Amino acid sequence: MYGTLIGISALLLGVFAMNLGFSLQATVLGVRAGLEGFPVALTGFVMAMYYLGYVGGSVFAPKLVQKVGHIRVFAALASLASTSALLHALFVSPISWGILRVMTGFCVAGLVVVAESWLNNASANSQRGGILSIYMVVALVASALGQLLLNVAPVNGFALFILISVLVSISLVPMALITQTAPPLQPTPPMKLTRIFKISPTGVMSCFATGLLNGSFWGMGAVYALSIGLETRSISIFMAIAVLGGIVSQWPLGRLSDAIDRRIVLMALAFAVAIASLLLALAGSLQPWMLYALAAFYGAAAFPLYAISIAHVNDLIEPKDFVPASSALLMTYALGAMLGPFLGGAAMNGLGAAGLFYFSAVVGLMLGAIAINRLYLGATVQAHNKEQFVAVPKTSAQAYAMAERATMERNGDNEVIKPSD
């Protein structure tokens, strides 16, 4: 493992820089939109455009890689994303930002396809679970630290956009200098969402609901914090604490879901999201440290939902279907994430800043009710039929390929007949 980590250290450094830049960008745009006086609902629409681009990139980027190669695609998309960051500062309007958000989403999807396929190829089967966990930690820590970079310069100036551009450009350096042979891209066979829904309605609806929650929070969380009067420093801490809450809770909750019915964990987390959201909706006059505590509670409940949903679906399908099923679920998540900022922004437009978390509370309550319903109507997954939890990022099919091969190595490639949800 140590030797492998040395070999992929440059790649992980690039991933770290990339996530620093893009996580900072999302928060900067939310705060800057508020300072520029963008209507809240329109801000939600602008932020949602990122996920439209991400869906397009997830579909077309692998085809580009197969035509011109990993390094060329990474270089082109990193350059385009870096340019896009600067253009946000030059053309400050909802229309231009919406177009640039589509461009950014497309680029990010292509960048993670290249990075994760390289990571997948560089690790042996027996190491993939550990490498995937390290990759996730690197990405999540960078996402949390990216929020704190909001404090290094005024939000209403050019400097932060320049910093974002620099960070994205730096991510290109390790990839451009890598000496290893470019890996083969893992093909992703298609799988119809209707088939997955018949197997696991809970998993599909949970992925969609998680997209609504995460998309609305990442798109409009900074707008909410600005609207209730938090200063730039407090906004950055608020966003970072939520991410850290998700980092801390993901693995313990995943292991808990290995031991009991995952739908029980999903139900508990959904209701925890609803409680945290209601408290945040009513928390406008609280001290900042109390808001931070609620943000950590929200993140700890909301961010693990996706990985546990994927694990639940994997319990019910054959190992050979892990990657196509997970890829279809990623598209389901992305659809929810695309609607989340728009719906959250509309709720804020009608109900004020608290509307964002009233919206999240409704999503949490609905997901909890669905999980209860499926607990009564769906089949119970026996412990010996369950796959061990692997935390998977919401990125690309290449990460799912890593998780699949790690799981098959752990299980000795044994296939079992699985019940339906």
> Which residue segments constitute the domains of the chain, with CATH numbers given?
2-410 (1.20.1250.20)
Tokens of 12: 């992980």
Stronger pLDDT, 68 or 24, i.e. the higher one: 24
pLDDT of 377 above 70: yes
CA distance readout (Å), 230 to 31, 187, 288: 11, 46, 8
Q: How far is CA 364 from the centre of its chain?
A: 18
pLDDT band at 313 (very low <50, low <70, confident <90, very high): confident
Distances (CA, A) of 245 to 48, 141, 144, 299: 24, 11, 10, 5
- Whether the per-residue pLDDT at 417 is higher than 50: the answer is no
CB 309 within 8 A of CB 207: yes
Which among 150, 148, 155, 158 is positioned nearest to 35, based on CA atoms?
A: 155
Per-residue model confidence as pLDDT tens digits over 31-44: 999 999 999 999 99
- For residue 262, pLDDT over 60 is answered with yes
Given a contact cutoff of 8 angstroms between Cβ atoms, the answer to whether 221 and 348 are in contact is no
Q: Could you write out the DSSP letters of every residue in 71-101?
A: HHHHHHHHHHHHHHHHHHHHS-SHHHHHHHH
Least confident of 31-35, 76-80, 120-124: 120-124
CA dihedral over 15, 296, 300, 409, signed as positive or negative: positive
Q: What is the pLDDT of residue 351?
A: 94
pLDDT digits (tens, 9 = 90+) for 197-230: 888 899 899 999 999 999 999 999 999 999 999 9
| CA distance to 19, 138, 207, 326, per residue, from 212 (Å) | 21, 24, 9, 18
Q: What is the pLDDT of residues 277-289, one digit of tens each?
A: 999 999 877 788 8
What string of DSSP letters covers 256-282?
HHHHS-HHHHHHHHHHHHHHHHHHHHT
